[in-house]
Amino acid sequence: MVAGRTLMAPDGALPVERHVTSMAVWDAPSPAVCGRPFALKVGVKCSAGCRLTGHLVEVRDEAGAVVGGGQLGDTAWPGTDALYVADLRLTASPAQGPASWSARLVVEESGQHDESSAAFGFTVDGIPEHRVAVQVSERDTHAPLEGVDVRLGVYRASTGADGAAAFELPGGTYALAAWKDGYTTDPRTVEVHTDLVIQLNAVAAPDADPDDERLWM
């Protein structure tokens, strides 16, 4: 059975079956740069598998003001049969700090689909001034470690095959931490006043992830 609701037409015509829609937002930056453009994706799916090409999605900020929007694409997202996606380009607010915005599917009252929405959050930071490279190696073998999650304040990245993760950020004081399943590193505080290269030595340790919820904003 298709999930939905039935609305009576005001002119006495046959009732209209409204389909339920669901929405997801992903690829929001972490963080965004204040006053600068950034991109994210908004996906919408109809409970009846309808083609949603061309439907409008709008994004609002904390105050409810519309800050951008776009139309859902022509084809379903790869690997799905009915998830239609809008690639949106927005501009971060000029104020630094956490932001909580929302996306909404815009529908007509007489249309076939119900409205859906999704909230998403991200952090807004200052304009990047310096580049910091973090090199993570296994302590005993000195071999570079790939797939290490590295945090530098609100910034995050993962190391590549060369064991390196790079950040571009404003000057300031940052907490540096790194984690990979089966390894541990000592957290430290980093003063960033110029470009830096930081070496981290990882020690084999089968401990659990110290950041259980893995919520990085």
> Across-strand partners of 105?
57
Judge whether 74 lies within some domain: yes
Q: What is the pLDDT of residue 212?
A: 54
Three-state DSSP at 158 gives strand
Give the C-alpha separation, 140 to 92, whole Å. 44
Domain holding 150, by residue range, is 130-204
Sign of CA dihedral 179, 41, 26, 37: positive
Give the C-alpha separation, 156 to 134, whole Å. 11
Q: What is the pLDDT of residue 109?
A: 80
7 and 16 in contact (C-beta within 8 Å)?
A: yes
> Whole-model pTM?
0.75
pLDDT mean values, one per 10 residues, the chain (217 residues): 49 68 94 96 96 97 96 96 97 94 92 94 95 96 95 95 96 96 93 97 73 50
186 shares a domain with 112: no
Q: What is the pLDDT of residue 1?
A: 36
Q: What is the pLDDT of residue 214?
A: 52
Cα atoms in the Cβ-side hemisphere of radius 13 Å centred on 69:
15
How many domains does the structure of the chain reveal? 2
Judge whether 212 lies within some domain: no
Q: What is the pLDDT of residue 209?
A: 53
115 shares a domain with 55: yes
165 shares a domain with 140: yes
Q: What is the pLDDT of residue 24?
A: 97
Domain boundary among 83, 98, 125: 125
Sign of CA dihedral 202, 208, 210, 213: positive
Sorted by sequence, the CB contacts under 8 Å of residue 43 that are 6+ apart come out as: 23, 24, 25, 26, 77, 83, 84, 85, 86
Domain boundary among 91, 125, 159: 125
- Find the DSSP H helices in the chain: none
135 shares a domain with 92: no
